[in-house]
Amino acid sequence: MTQSTRKPTVLIVPGSFSHASFYTPIVDQLSAQGYEALAIDLPTVGRREDGPAPTMADDAAHVHSVAVKFVDEGKDVVLLTHSYGGIVGTESANGLAKADREAAGKKGGISRLIYLTSIVPPVGGSLASTTEGQADLGFLKTDGDYMYHDIPKSLPYTLSDLPEAEALAWAERTPQHSAVSFTGELTYPAYKYIPVSYIVCEADKILTPSFQREMVGRIAKESGRDVDVHVCNTGHCPNLSAPEVVVELVVNAIEKDL
């Protein structure tokens, strides 16, 4: 395999309330297929008592710092984002687009964004503004600067396609999440400069398929390029309910560039 067709590194940007370990099945299956893969723990996930609650910008800066290490090694990187991770991954790509780096005579860069049922606001938009009136987040409760899941109410939404006992076990591992992160505004529209794939989850009870397709339509309109759309019949967290399906679709999207 030549340098130009070498498999990219896949960096996973988790959704809110999600540790990197929630994506281990995807990482392991991508690794088994010869991909370097890593899920990134976000600063906003988990309560912190040593300072203010982290922001979306803090998350994006952290993802950027991880991605730039691979990019500076001359590697191509694919960002696979999930839910809230869509805005984080988009923001984090500032300065790392492969096309921009090639134009500057540099190797490596972010070669594709793969949005898995992700929230992708326009510039100036946030998770809160983008989902207002669109997503049912009534199962979220606040505790100071942090949010947590009201587990009995959240299960039919977050883990709708897992057996009840398994869903409950995962829900009980769900940490708190910074409340202020949901108001962080996007400043860099990476989807205008980096090819985009979007995986629509048709059984998602939080971000409805119509909402996801609105994201696809706006990305296509703003970027002036077609979005590579894939579909799976899963709920909001296929990283847990159907990781093998996610991996198959991710690999299909990546192979378009090889």
Global pTM value: 0.96
**What homologous superfamily is domain 3-255 in, according to CATH?**
Alpha/Beta hydrolase fold, catalytic domain (3.40.50.1820)
Supply 211's token pair.
């909402």
Closest CA to 134 of 217, 39, 208: 208
Q: What is the structure's pLDDT at 18?
A: 97
The active-site residue out of 82, 143, 236, 257 is 236
What was the pLDDT predicted at 177? 98
Burial class of residue 38, CB neighbours in 10 A (0-12, 13-18, 19+): middle
Query: Buried b / exposed e across 50-87, counting CB within 10 Å, b at 16+?
Result: eeebbbbbbbbbbbbebbbebbeeebbbbbbbbbbbbb
pLDDT at residue 231 in the model: 98
CA atoms within 13 A on the CB side of 26: 31
- 236 in catalytic set: yes
Strands across the sheet containing 140-143: 140-143, 146-149, 177-178
- Quick check: 5 and 20 in contact, CB under 8 A? no
Between CA 203 and CA 209, with CA 205 as vertex, the angle to 5 degrees is 55
Q: 7-20, pLDDT tens digit by residue?
A: 999 999 999 999 99
- Which residues of the chain have a pLDDT value below 50? 1-4
Sequence ranges of the domains in the chain:
3-255
**Sign of CA pseudo-dihedral 240, 175, 136, 221:** negative
pLDDT of residue 2: 39
Catalytic residue among 28, 41, 204, 230: 204
Structure letter (DSSP) for residue 8: P
Q: What local confidence, expressed as pLDDT, does residue 233 receive?
A: 97
Q: What pLDDT does 4 receive?
A: 47
What's residue 5's pLDDT? 66
- Per the annotation, the verdict on 177 as an active-site residue is no
